[in-house]
Amino acid sequence: SAVISQKPSRDICQRGTSLTIQCQVDSQVTMMFWYRQQPGQSLTLIATANQGSEATYESGFVIDKFPISRPNLTFSTLTVSNMSPEDSSIYLCSVEGTGVGTDTQYFGPGTRLTVL
């Protein structure tokens, strides 16, 4: 299994500002994933972050809007830039479980963002 923490747990931000979300894992992992969950909706993958390389973004998400850092094997940040009310969502960090035969995905507690 993996234990994941995120900061902040929630925030209320003004339109046009940026927020950086931190994700810390208790073990070294190759890939970290960032998901967005808009109100009442399912989860959508934003990007996959590998240590030492540029993040890979899914269709509809761009680096200028959601820059990601991955400085080491246990930590990543996601920045939501130039925010608008449409960015109000829960942002979740995720990793795959470690160990032989484990493909289970684990999620952090999420960051609940409200943009006014």
Q: How far apart are the first and last CA of the chain?
A: 37
Give min distance, CB of 94 to another protein, in A. 8
Between CA 99 and CA 20 the distance in angstroms is 30
Per the document, the length of the chain is 116
The values of phi and psi at residue 39, to 5°, are -50, 125
Q: Which is nearer to another protein, 42 or 53 (CB)?
A: 42
Structure tokens at 72: 């080491």
Give min distance, CB of 75 to another protein, in A. 19
Give min distance, CB of 110 to another protein, in A. 5
Give min distance, CB of 57 to another protein, in A. 11
Q: Does the footprint of another protein cover residue 7 (CB under 8 A)?
A: no
Q: Which listed range, 13-21, 65-73, 75-83, 88-96, lies at the site for another protein (CB under 8 A)?
A: 88-96
Residues of span 22-61 touching another protein by CB under 8 A: 31, 33, 37, 41-45, 48, 58
Structure tokens at 34: 């960032």
Amino acid at the residue 90: I
